[in-house]
Amino acid sequence: MKKISVEEFCRTKKKDFSLSVITNPKTLEKDITSQYLNRPGLAFAGYFERFAYKRIQILGETEISYLQSLKEEDQYNSIKEVLVYDIPCIIVTKGLSLPQQMEFLANEMNIPLLSSRLTTDKLYHSLRKYLGEVFSPSKTIHGSLLDVFGVGILLTGKSGIGKSECALDLVERGRCLVTDDVVKIFAQEDVLFGTSTNEYGHFMEVRGVGLIDVEKMFGIQAVRKQKRIDVQIELMPWKDTMDYERIGLGDNFVDILGVKIPIIYLPVSPGKNVAVVIEVVAMNHILKLYGYDAAKVYTQKLQKDLQKKAKLRHASIEGGE
């Protein structure tokens, strides 16, 4: 199971979520293991059925003002009853001031207590998005990722088939490179995203030349950091025996991290301009999204024509007899 320590979370996201640590630093050793959040209002009120204590607990104005409304002794008990649970982390929003006993009890129970200056709503949404990314299933794939007319194209194929050269060709034609050689893919809500595995920038290796910096060479418009992956194109050496798609009526799909995307097996042979074909794949994908399927339209026209001609032939035979 994926996890992230509260210490790492604070270190990397301190700025983004304007966080400050209230409890002593050793409480930060705890791990966050869930991507979901919880508002523990009902727990403070004494209702513990289905209390999602394994999630980060967010305290907003509602919770704090409820606790402030209690008598000192009730307040102490109410907080204690919640904090006996093995909570990974509590975050108070809007930099609200806490009941005094809260910090004491959190230290006592070894539960990290953080404060954020963001509003509850803002924190809730950005934290959910961040945790979604941290906890989403991910893997790395050997290939290149490009943005072609807004369509995320994942280029795969054996080493030396010409993925990088093809990516370069597309960049030269004004398309965007996301990453070359290794693509980090993660799935979120049935959508795949791809990005680079490092923060070095957009470098790629061109056989016979060495490393080049695509951003320096082609400018900022030639690169982007992350892209939704829409179609996989597998480049393969031309083989006479391979069953290549001829009409395109039936789509092939590939499963990546439980998400299905169309895959196209593209034969490459010397002298063939693969970049143009990839642009065509991207545009055809857009047309299909907009409801226009060229293969369907053509075959339907053909079918109509065949029926009409068969009827005419039938009529002329009967008429002749």
Partner 1 sequence: MIRKTIVIVNKLGMHARPATLIVKAASKYRSDFRIIKEDMEINGKSIMGVMTLAAEYGSELELVADGVDEEFLIKEIAELFASKFGEE
142 interacts with partner 1 by CB under 8 A: no
Is 125 an annotated catalytic residue?
no
Closest distance to partner 1 from the beta carbon of 306 (Å): 4
Task: State yes or no: is 181 an active-site residue.
Answer: yes
Residue 68 touching partner 1 (CB under 8 A): no
Residue 237 found at the interface with partner 1 (CB under 8 A): no
Secondary structure of the chain as H, E, C letters: CCCEEHHHHHHHHCCCCCEEECCCHHHHHCEECCCCEECCHHHHCCCCCCCCCCCEEEECHHHHHHHHHCCHHHHHHHHHHHHCCCCCCEEECCCCCCCHHHHHHHHHHCCCEEEECCCHHHHHHHHHHHHHHHHCCEEEEECEEEEECCEEEEEEECCCCCHHHHHHHHHHCCCEEEECCEEEEEEECCEEEEECCCCCCCEEEECCCEEEEHHHHHCHHHECCEEECCEEEEEEECCCCCCCCCCCCCCEEEEECCEEEEEEEEEECCCCCHHHHHHHHHHHHHHHHCCCCHHHHHHHHHHHHHHHHHHHHHHHHHHHC
Report in angstroms how near the CB of residue 307 gets to partner 1 at its nearest: 8
- Residue 143, class by beta-carbon neighbours within 10 Å (0-12 exposed, 13-18 middle, 19+ buried)? buried
Catalytic pick from 30, 55, 163, 227?
163
Tell me whether residue 246 is one of the annotated catalytic residues. Answer: yes
Nearer to partner 1, 11 or 309 (CB): 309
Give, in degrees to the nearest 5, the angle at Cα 22 between 20 and 24: 115
- Cβ proximity to partner 1: between 206 and 280 the closer is 280
| Identified catalytic residue from 169, 181, 251, 293 | 181
297 binds partner 1 (CB under 8 A): no
Of the residues 142, 216, 225, 311, only one is catalytic, namely 142
Bridge partners, 144 (sequence order): 155
Contact 186, 192 (CB under 8 A): yes
Among 12, 20, 33, 303, binds partner 1 (CB under 8 A): 303
Q: Give whichever of 46 and 237 is closer to partner 1, judged by the CB atom.
A: 237
- Binding-site member from 50, 246, 269, 319 for partner 1 (CB under 8 A): 246
Nearer to partner 1 by Cβ, of 221 and 303: the residue is: 303
Residue 50 or 246 having the CB closest to partner 1: 246
The residue range among 6-14, 152-160, 237-245, 280-288 that interacts with partner 1, by the rule CB under 8 A, is 237-245
Asked if 240 is part of the footprint of partner 1 (rule: CB under 8 A), the reply reads yes
Of 215 and 293, CB closest to partner 1: 293
| Sign of the alpha-carbon dihedral angle for 201, 204, 210, 216 | negative
Out of 20, 198, 252, 307, name the contact with partner 1 by CB under 8 A. 307
One character per residue 247-276, x = contact with partner 1 (rule: CB under 8 A) = x-x---------------------------
2, 3, 26, 313: residue in contact with partner 1 (rule CB under 8 A): 313
Active site residues: 142, 163, 181, 246
Footprint on this chain of partner 1 (rule: CB under 8 A): 240-241, 243, 246-247, 249, 295, 298-299, 302-303, 305-307, 309-310, 313-314, 317
